[in-house]
Structure 1
Amino acid sequence: MGIRLGIIGVEDNLELMGSVASEYSEFTNSLFLHTRSEDVIDILESHQHDIDMWLFSGYTPYLIAKEWGKVEKPMFFVKYPGSSLYKTLYYALYQHNLNMNELSFDCFTPSELKQVFEELAVSFTSNHLKMYEGSAELLVKHHYELWKTGKTKAAVTCVWAVSNELKKMGVPVFRVTPTKSAIQTTLNLALRTNEMLLFKNKQIAVQMFEINNMFGLSKNMYSSDEIYNKEIGITQKLLIYSKKVQGSLKTVGPGRYVIFSTRGELSDITGNFTTVPDVEEIKQLSQQDITCGIGIGQSAYEAEINAGKALLHAKEYKNGAWMVFLDNKTINGPLGKPEKITYTYESKKYQAISERTLLSVATISKVDSILGKIGKSEITAHELGQHLQIMPRSARRILDQLLKNGFAKEIAEETPHPRGRPRKIYRVLL
């Protein structure tokens, strides 16, 4: 079976996209018609498990899917290059005798329009251009107001819904549709992406497990036979689990185990590295506080080193945390936890800040990731400590170092409790 390609388009281009895609033997195509924004999400939700890649007829449905945020498969949209616009302008200029500056445009960038205008030896003005900002209604208003006030005589739009609405309002409109070559370019990109993913899924992945307080020696004393039986029990559970991820198990010391597998297998069982595997063996071991570091690498050695680094980061959190160290030097975790963040281990930007503040690159990256997650640059030491799973005084030291070196400002204070000490609010400027 080929790559299961889901094609989402509107009625004036879906048939063309399906026809071009059918020329590729690598794809097994499923066509989905959408007429409203809500249709896009309904289609994605209903067919997520039946499709390997998604192809959208344009940027608008692609953006809807991206903002929905629940699509885990690769997504592509057909771009509207100059050739698509030339075809539309031919009808407007030569068959309808319109002047270029009598037209309003949407969705193109100023540079794209400028290039087309220059090639046609026509002066360019961006006053009649509106970029797509997530609302077809705003595009309709843009074209209608220009036409109503006599500034333009017709609209050129890339959005099918905008074209339909303007026609209802009596505005002359020309719809830009994708060319066959643009569709072919996007399909070729999808094929290259699939090849990359196949290679990526075959990367070496290593899981390094550490059983915290393996035998509970602080509370109980065990005979050598009892300790041996406990080790055997843990090993048997991990052997069963390792078969589920097509891996091999190695014991590397008391309470520490390593499983060698592939990125694809671990990505599947962890939901693309977002959750702890929902399997019985891991649930049983979690009762003994199992901490895990996952490392990805081009070689077994690199993956094992990265797994060790991930384990160290996991141990910074409460027992039982799972962290992933990817081959692009980013760290993700704790898996399945609300405080989960993604931060980098190497960055020129963070390195420069690190040298001035003496904070580690990882710490600075964590702070930046947390700010991105909460969607603001203002934070207290108490909030930062909660996200980092550290004491507020430790978080305050981090913020004070940023403050001292010009990467933060004190902007206010808050008193969460009537008798409590006021908390400083910092604006972090990374």
Structure 2
Amino acid sequence: MKLRLGILGADDSMEIIESVTQEFEELECLKIVYWNEEDIFDLIEPHIHDADLWLFSGKVPYTMVKEWGKISVPMAYVPHMGASLYRTLLHLSHQCEIKVRELSFDTFSARELILFLKEAGIDEGYTWLLHYDGAITAGELADYHEKLWREGKTKAAVTCLRTADMELRARGVPVHRVLPTRAGVLSVIHMLLRTHEMLHFKDTQIAVQIMEIDPLRELAGGTFATDEWQNAEIKTMEKLLRYTKHLQGSLKTAGPGRYAIFTTRGIMQNVTSDYRAMPDLDEAFGIHAEWVTCGIGIGKTAYEAEIHAGTALLHAKERGPGHWMVFFDDKSIAGPLGSQEQISYSSASSDRLQTLSQQTSLSVLTLSKLDSILKKRRSQEINAHELAQYMQILPRSARRILMELESNGLAQVVGEESPNPRGRPRKVYRIIL
């Protein structure tokens, strides 16, 4: 079966991209041409699930769709660096006799442009550049280039955005559009195909789910006769067998009240919404979620996945009944699933965290958790109460961690917060890892 490649781009870029995709017999292309950035979401939304891969003609549409967050398959855009830019500058230099310093650029980063000019043997540096990380409108780019041109600081604009090119032409500003090259398109398509292969391999990796369920919770009347115990276990097994069938997996017992389910990474990823939520066991299978403590392990072999699931279960049990944690094949840990305080941290030792661990009394795992919490919060500042909530530990343990960091110069008190008028003020620490 052919792979479906969605292509969204400007009209002039689409012609180049189409000429390349014709060389790939394994691709079936869905082509969408846009004329205004404001139309991109309306154009692409009806086709969200119609493609296995998405290719964008430039950085702006790619960034907009990525930030939109509704597409989960691999995406990429065709870069305008390299031969694309070299071809444009060669034309400007030889045909128009315009130097690099007399041009205004957009899209590229300063580092990219400096390295390109150096590699191209162009000794003169650039003067005017508008770099942007997120999305930007054609009007903003046109305003930037037009202002420089009208002030006599430049002789022409070099843009990577088709709509900005059209806008500048309408305003009478000399502009040259950097178009993608066939080689650039070819390289990105090969990269997308390799990414798809890698993800397909990952989906077929083994996933093991080890669940601890107390069968006594099934005994509503509080009787603990042997027969009642066995009946409770049989009921639990029947429910788990239905759940296992849903996962297209296999079930085995791993001790009293402990069960292991073997399935694939792709299926587990789907039922947990990409490892963000717990599956609805109660509604669909009659298993009360608050009775289940679970560890999910991912591995290249069943043995490795089962070992990882056991480790994940230990992390889940640290947080108490009803929690689910995941241990991936790259040694990273995520969870608790379904919690607002969910974080992802690594059990592997990086050189940076290993050095900090030796400098303090804190383990690499604790430091990795702290690092992930700060990244999730997008702030280097935190108090002990907040840290305790994220790490599911007592506030006094969180204070000990923060005081340990402070005593080693890795944290400093930057203020205090009062949760209520009578409450004890909480110190706010800025962490410097």
TM score, norm. by length of structure 1: 0.93
Which one-letter code corresponds to 2:371 in the other structure? D
- SS in structure 2 at match of 1:6: strand
The answer to whether the 8 A contact 1:14-1:33 is kept is: yes
Tell me the residue number matched to 2:94: 94
Quick one: distance in 2 between partners of 1:423 and 1:168? 59
Q: Residue 329 of structure 1 contacts residue 344 of structure 1 at CA under 8 Å; is this kept in 2?
A: yes
Cα distance change on mapping 1:42 and 1:404 into 2, 3 Å: farther
> 1:316 maps to which residue?
318
In the superposition, relative to structure 1, how do residues 43 and 278 fare at CA in structure 2: closer, same or farther (>3 Å)? farther
Match of 1:253 in 2: 255
User: Greater shift after overlay, 382-391 or 212-221?
Assistant: 212-221
- Farther-moved stretch of structure 1 (377-386 vs 129-138): 129-138
Residue 7 (structure 1) aligns with = 7
Please tell me the residue identity of whatever aligns with 2:128. Answer: H
Question: 2: CA distance between counterparts of 1:40 and 1:230?
Answer: 55
Partners in 1 of 2:108 and 2:404 — Cα distance? 44
1:226 aligned partner: 228
Partner of 2:108: 108
Q: How far is 1:97 from its partner?
A: 3.2
Q: Which moved more, 1:419-428 or 1:339-348?
A: 339-348
In structure 2, the residue matched to 1:272 is: 274
* Superposition deviation, residue 112 in structure 1: 4.0
Amino acid across the alignment from 1:259: I
1:153 aligns with 2:155: yes
Distance 1:320 1:120, change over 3 A: closer
Contact 1:314 1:321 in 2 (8 A): yes
Q: Name the CA distance, whole Å, in 1 between partners of 2:286 and 2:361.
A: 41
Does the 8 A contact of 1:330 with 1:343 survive in 2? Answer: yes
Q: SS where residue 382 of structure 1 aligns?
A: helix
Please name the residue that 2:397 is paired with.
394
Aligned position for 1:63: 63
8 Å CA contact retained: 2:100, 2:126: no
Residue in structure 2 matched with residue 421 of structure 1 by the alignment: 424
Percent of aligned positions with the same letter in both sequences? Answer: 49
Structure 1: unaligned runs, 5 residues or longer: none
Deviation, structure 1 residue 313: 1.2
**CA spacing shift, 1:218–1:404, aligned 2, 3 Å:** farther
Tell me which amino acid in the other structure corresponds to 1:31.
K
Task: State the match for 2:342 in structure 1.
Answer: 340
- SS for the counterpart of 1:51 is coil
C-alpha displacement at 1:115, in angstroms? Answer: 4.8
Deviation at 1:91, TM superposition (A): 3.2
Following superposition of structure 1 onto structure 2, how do residues 184-333 of structure 1 map, counting pairs within 5 Å? 184-212=186-214, 214-215=216-217, 220-278=222-280, 284-287=286-289, 289-333=291-335
Cα shift at 1:283: 5.5
What whole-Å deviation, never above 9, does each CA across 1:254-304 have from its counterpart, x for those lacking one? 110001111112112222222212456765212551111110111211111
Q: Say if 2:367 is the partner of 1:364.
A: yes
Q: 1:335 to 1:46 in 2, by over 3 A?
A: farther
Aligned to 2:37: 37
Worse overlay, 126-135 or 107-116: 107-116
Among candidates 142, 145, 161, match of residue 143 of structure 1? 145
| Aligned with 1:380 (options 377, 383, 393) | 383
CA RMSD of aligned residues (A): 2.2
- The separation in 2 between residues aligned to 1:216 and 1:277, in whole angstroms, is 20
Residues 1:421 and 1:109: Cα distance change in structure 2 (over 3 Å)? closer
Structure 2 Cα separation of the partners of residues 115 and 121 of structure 1 = 10
TM-score by structure 2 length? 0.93
Deviation at 1:90, TM superposition (A): 3.5
8 Å contact kept, 1:322–1:335 = yes
